[in-house]
Amino acid sequence: GAPTISIFQKPPGVIPPGGSATICCICQRSYGRFVMYKGSLRLDTLKQSGNRAEFSISNATYEDRGPYICHYLEGGTVLARSDELDIFVEELRLPRPDLSVLPGRKVTAGAAVMFHCTPTPPSTGCFLYLEGQIRAQLLPREGGDYNLSHVQKGDSGRYSCQCYTIHDLREWSAVSNTLDLVVR
């Protein structure tokens, strides 16, 4: 069948002006090449090794905002396109939250875990990020806790959270500390 490409931002989250991040594209096949687009603009500065390509954003500006997409080609043929990854560049004005997890960072498959992102000032929302995933989880408002009832091996990885105000003028916090969850 046709290959699929995953695309994600490392580290995840809204980037402050002057900050940096890397956009990673991974395909199960490794003999072709990757092309990355931002909107309809083709980006040439892609570093590729094997089945992975990376595009670095350093000293980010508002010009770096927008949708990024990866194409995977063999010969001249596009065999796969990634989902769109939206990059956000905003001033980070809210205090950096702290991420913790109960019962702990090492759990057995099937266990329940609770992520806790604090402090969450009134009228803020928070996102929980798992590095390597394109989508973030929106944390429920009541206290910023996120429960995973039956963790699986696939839930292992590096988590962080980031909060924002929910009134008209959206303001963001810095990204929290990272936390490595190990599911055994």
| Complete domains list, the chain, with CATH | 5-89 (2.60.40.10), 93-183 (2.60.40.10)
H helices, E strands: number in the chain: 0, 19
Average pLDDT over the chain, rounded to an integer: 91
* Nearest alpha carbon to residue 124 among 91, 94, 166, 93: 166
What is the tens place of the pLDDT at every residue in 42-75?
Answer: 987 789 888 999 999 999 999 999 999 999 999 8
What is the tens place of the pLDDT at every residue in 165-178?
Answer: 887 788 999 999 99
Straight-line distance from the first to the last Cα atom of the chain, in angstroms, rounded to the nearest whole number: 31
Determine if the pTM surpasses 0.85: yes
Give the lowest-confidence range in 55-59, 98-102, 104-108, 148-152.
148-152
Cβ–Cβ under 8 Å, residues 45 and 35? no
pLDDT at 144: 65
CA 134-140-144 angle, 5° bins: 95
**CA–CA gap between residue 174 and residue 142 (Å, rounded):** 20
User: Residue 142 pLDDT > 80, yes or no?
Assistant: no
